[in-house]
Chains A and B, each alone.
Chain A
Amino acid sequence: MTLHRPTNLVLAMAGALLLALLVALQWTSIPPVSIVTLPLVLFLPGYGLSAVLLGNYRVSRAARLLWSVGLSIAVAIVGGVLVALTPWGLQTTTWVILLAGVTCSAGGLAWLGGYGTGDRGRMTDEGRRRMDDNKGFRVSPGDAILFGLAVLAILAALQIAQLPAPPTSANGYTSLWILPSNSPNAHVIHFGFTSQEMEPVTYKVVVQVNGQPAQTWSEITLQPGEQWMNSFDASQVAAAAKIEADLYREDEPDAVYRSAVVNAN
């Protein structure tokens, strides 16, 4: 079907408004809808602008594509700088207004001016020379099958790329931390550790004050990704005392695995 002159512009403007509505209704939290709104940023504003800037001139599809995408990005950048100067700043609402607004304004101007993006219109020199733009290029059923196989292969490649490395590729670790309470009157020391080991590990925690064991927690088993937290009451501890949390692994009970130190104030 050959689309007549104004139809492409009307479709572009209607599309921009529809996508703006989807964004306003927050339907973009649904992944397929999210992808559908991509043209609102990366294509439609430039398409509308190209219609009004090119006037009645036809250019090749490749040129139209570059115009549309490139000008859309340029509109977002320049428009974004200007919008950031306003009190409203760069938020979803202002983006939607900017991008849909440019698409509809430019498209509307082009439509009113009688410009178009369809088959009618004068040929540019480039358009005239590129008459074989759509010729000699046919996608046969065999090609379509090959394209489909290629897409499947690429999707498989991307899936392979995202596979996590096996546990043997590197060493896991455990992170121990210690912090005094944020409250100035509280004499509580918070501490904890997170396991990023490759398998479940059993730990022991010993809190020492000036080198002397003050409190011990044993038989703490964490799965990979799990966290353990506790606190130590330092109200009876002298000022400037050194409070140390030492972490031991059950399979190496004599070696301090991790150590964190804080000075009591």
Chain B
Amino acid sequence: MNRLQKMARFNLIVILISLSLSAIAVGVLHFIVRQPIQRALGGFGFIGICGLLGFSPLLYKKTPGTVSFDERDLLIQRKTSLRAYSIFWFLFVLAAMAPFFVLGPDGAVSVKYLAAMVFGGMIIVMLVQSIVTLEEYGWRNKDNE
């Protein structure tokens, strides 16, 4: 696997672990511990594991003296970022318009909803970039060294 594939795989694993743990925590808190849903949503604290995403360029450093990035890698990187931003845009607009239609023009939303949109958007961008990178290169393709 090349550097971008390794980083994408790492990012994907971290995001899936954080989302899974969050979903399990919310489910356990709400259905087993019988917490009201507003308190059970505290289980989303496991999303903080996504902070590890910042370490992926440090874990998979560029090897000095070798060419690790060519035109194909550049094209793939452009494709992944375009797709990630396209999906982010679509979901962000949906999330922004939904309260307006559900609550009406005179409704109000909590500022926490904005924060959820921001963090959710970042996670979606990283998730889609990782998936598309691995799709383009191949999930296990060793010919990309």
A and B, one complex? Answer: no
Q: Give the A-binding residues of B (Cβ under 8 A).
A: none
Q: Give the B-binding residues of A (Cβ under 8 A).
A: none
